[in-house]
Structure 1
């Protein structure tokens, strides 16, 4: 039995050469989505904490990106993959469905970022544009902050950008401080030891054992007096670690 679909049409007219974008408002998809005439040539993009059922994944192209609707979740780290998938679907002439649980925060954030990059819009202009098509779009405060950072980086995600690297560090520190769960540091992705080659580079080593620790590129410039890094008062509470957090992944 086919389930009811609630779809909001988001079209950008000739700017997209008459390509049509949709935002799916709920989890409702027909069980025969792979053969359903409405979804011929469908690219389904799911930005949620869990994938859709396998029978729904039987479409032309499918991508699931793990994402929590939390203001502490870094959605920017997945944005390049999201936008590339959408670009490929549009280039192939596919119908692209962008889906999350409520069609408000996660999928809305991706759509706003897409408009920002495609049309060279500011966050504010892209947000207004998207909400005209779907008033319910409402990224959470953390996603709004990240989209504004996306704008500051020129509507691209630049892992080497100091603003982005500082944001990642603050996000990480706030998570640790708010939970007071310093043991969880062991579960965080740590940077591999820096590769030593013949290319001239500033390499910092342990004074005692001379083990390579980090390169100059791993440093984040900041004003010490007005530093936004909030880990200073908590470093002493942490157990000593032999590796560094990889900020430019």
Structure 2
């Protein structure tokens, strides 16, 4: 049995990756936590799927874009997000950093966690 989360992300510098990252990261996390696996793919496995995995690593491992890209390249050396995707991943890094800062501030005063809104 398979669960699918198709995301038609274009293979160009203007593709909207950022708006899909929260949902994709959650989908992959749920698959792994339920004992399953996740397959992320695109046509060549260089730009789009690589960028998605870098974003996933950033959100789940609390690491920077550069660190996540290095981890992804250890597993698949050809991973090379296009400039537009790389820029969105740097924005994602900033968003995750702000979320972490807010969560840490909230932890000092309450148990409430900040939820990321959908990115459009």
Choose which of 21, 25, 29 in structure 2 pairs with 1:83: 25
Q: Which of the pair is proportionally richer in strand?
A: 1
User: Helix, strand or coil: the match of 2:11?
Assistant: coil
Structure 1 stretches of 4+ moved >4 Å: none
Candidates 130, 135, 138, aligned match of 2:80: 138
Query: Match of 2:63, SS?
Result: coil
List alignment gaps of at least 5 residues for structure 1: 1-58, 158-247
Partner secondary structure for residue 114 of structure 1: helix
Match of 1:69 in 2: 11
TM-score with structure 1 setting the length: 0.39
Unmatched 5+ residue regions in structure 2? 100-118
Q: What secondary structure is seen at the aligned counterpart in 1 of 2:38? A: strand
Query: Do 1:86 and 1:96's aligned partners in 2 also have CA atoms closer than 8 Å?
Result: yes
Structure 1 segment 96-115 matched on structure 2, within 5 A = 96-115=38-57
The whole-number CA distance in structure 1 between the counterparts of 2:57 and 2:94 is 15
Bigger share in helix: 2
Rg larger in structure: 1
1:187-202 aligned within 5 A: none
Q: State the number of aligned residues.
A: 101
Using the alignment, how far apart are the partners of 1:110 and 1:156 within structure 2? 20
TM-score normalised to the size of structure 2?
0.78
Distance in structure 2 (CA, Å) of the matches to 1:99 and 1:118 = 19
Q: Which has the bigger relative contact order, CA under 8 A and spacing at least 6?
A: 2
**1:95 corresponds to which of 22, 34, 37:** 37
